[in-house]
Structure 1
Amino acid sequence: MATILVADDDANIRELVCLFLRNDGFTTVEAVDGKQALDLYLQTPVDLVVLDIMMPVMDGWSLCKELRRLNADLPLLMLTARGETWEKVKGFELGSDDYLTKPFDPLELTARVKALLKRYKIGSTHLIQFGNVTLDRQSYKVIAGEESLTLPLKEFELLFKLAGTPGQVYTREQLIDQIWGLDYTGDDRTVDVHIKRLRERFAKTSDFQIETVRGLGYRLEVKHD
């Protein structure tokens, strides 16, 4: 499952883009400006970046240049409200792989994202399977042995995120940003509540466990016989 970083100062654009990407099975991370996007990239494994040109603090030009300096093999898709040729040329010169002018069709954006990932040979999947457990992102169902469960959306997304990279530790802040979004204003203890519910639901499942890493956060460990 690929993780897409979406950097745009327009909350409506971020919400729309992330909704369509998540519906196609991708994990999304959001940033409101170039600097925050760069910080998130340095903290979180990211497979592709969708970035707006006109952003505060650090614009898309600077972000593109810095990301390309850090990683020559990171797919970059630029968004802009204007479609002048010179902007496209400048974007490509700075290292952008593709370009989309606002307003755009979200289905075209997801198609371009998939094409870039395919070009870079970065895979995405709707399914995660470990032991006797299968997570299906298309139906939002969990199959544990012969039992099929339908989880509340946030519980499923949380489990899918942890299971996508077994052994990796995620802080509460990272999980809030990636599952609930940057606009979430509630208490980050909600992560603890959802983790508790997942542990209770799968208390009889011996294929995995969600571990608390004291002072850091949570990780999912797959049990091996």
Structure 2
Amino acid sequence: MKNKLILIEDDQDLGLVLQQYLEYSNYEVIWFNHPQKFLDNLHQLQNTKLLIVDVMMPEIDGFTLVNQLKDKLSIPYLFLTAKAQSFDRVLGLKIGADDYITKPCDPEELLLRIKNILKRNYTFPQVKIAIGDYLFNHSHFSLKHKEKLFQLTEKEAELLSYFIQHNNQLVYRKEILETIWGENDYFLGRSLDVFMTRLRKYFKEDERIKFESVRGIGFKIELPINQEK
């Protein structure tokens, strides 16, 4: 499943470039070219991972827009600003923005800022979770099957937690690498394959648990899950 972003930018050329670049980078992008159109479609906030908001827009500037929605926003947001004054940047951060970038911006730089924000805001479950016949405790990096206890590495625990949060979904290799390792390259991809072999070995006693490889794309995850308080 692609991470969903909302872009609010009134510059038609820039908005189109950013939308196309981010979609090419495997994000789902909903673009509004007027702040009022966004306000008329607040249902689009559902499942959104990040707002990208231009500061200078007609009728409602980005700061005012975010302030109006502050009580409704539980997702991070990033400001685009054409202004060079430090006052505007400080104000944006005081409002609660996770980051800002000055226009005209390099799409690749924006992409890196987005990845960093999503990684900072990614949380792992802290409860004990029953996965079939196993009991997973992320806080202790442990996995238990009957009387056998597996001590996981931190990366193994993070990877398993990521799969729990994306259960019964097709997860993309690129998104796994960028979320857990912070970047996507050939050597990290080989490391991911090693970690997948380990997870399959840990869970071999329960046939209901599946980490199926989808060639060239990622993995289809099937975990029978129950959370314990």
TM-score range, shorter chain: 0.5 to 0.7
TM-score (norm 2): 0.51
Task: Judge conservation of contact 1:20–1:106 (CA < 8 Å) in 2.
Answer: yes
Distance, in Å, in 2 between the alignment partners of 1:24 and 1:64 is 26
Residue 67 of structure 1 corresponds to 69
- In structure 2, relative to structure 1, the CA distance for the partners of 1:122 and 1:38 (3 Å cut) is farther
Residue 99 of structure 1 corresponds to 100
Partner amino acid, structure 1, of 2:51: V
Instruction: Give 1:44 deviation, angstroms.
Output: 4.3
Deviations, residues 73-127 of structure 1 (Å, cap 9, x unaligned):
31111001112100011111212110100111100001101111111117999xx
Residue 109 of structure 1 corresponds to 110
Residue 27 of structure 1 corresponds to 28
Residue 227 of structure 2 corresponds to none
Distance, in Å, in 2 between the alignment partners of 1:33 and 1:122 is 32
Deviations, residues 127-146 of structure 1 (Å, cap 9, x unaligned):
x9979xx69798xxxxxxxx
- In structure 2, relative to structure 1, the CA distance for the partners of 1:43 and 1:107 (3 Å cut) is closer
Distance, in Å, in 2 between the alignment partners of 1:54 and 1:93 is 17
Structure with the greater alpha carbon radius of gyration: 2
Distance, in Å, in 1 between the alignment partners of 2:40 and 2:10 is 15
Distance, in Å, in 1 between the alignment partners of 2:99 and 2:63 is 14
Matched ranges for 1:177-192 at <5 A: none
TM-score (norm 1): 0.52
Distance, in Å, in 2 between the alignment partners of 1:34 and 1:122 is 30
After TM superposition, the structure 1 stretch with the greater mean CA deviation from structure 2, 57-66 or 112-121, is 57-66
Q: CA RMSD in A?
A: 2.8
The unaligned stretches of length 5 or more in structure 1 are: 139-225
- In structure 2, relative to structure 1, the CA distance for the partners of 1:18 and 1:93 (3 Å cut) is same
After TM superposition, the structure 1 stretch with the greater mean CA deviation from structure 2, 10-19 or 30-39, is 30-39
Residue 216 of structure 1 corresponds to none
Distance, in Å, in 2 between the alignment partners of 1:137 and 1:18 is 22
- In structure 2, relative to structure 1, the CA distance for the partners of 1:24 and 1:65 (3 Å cut) is same
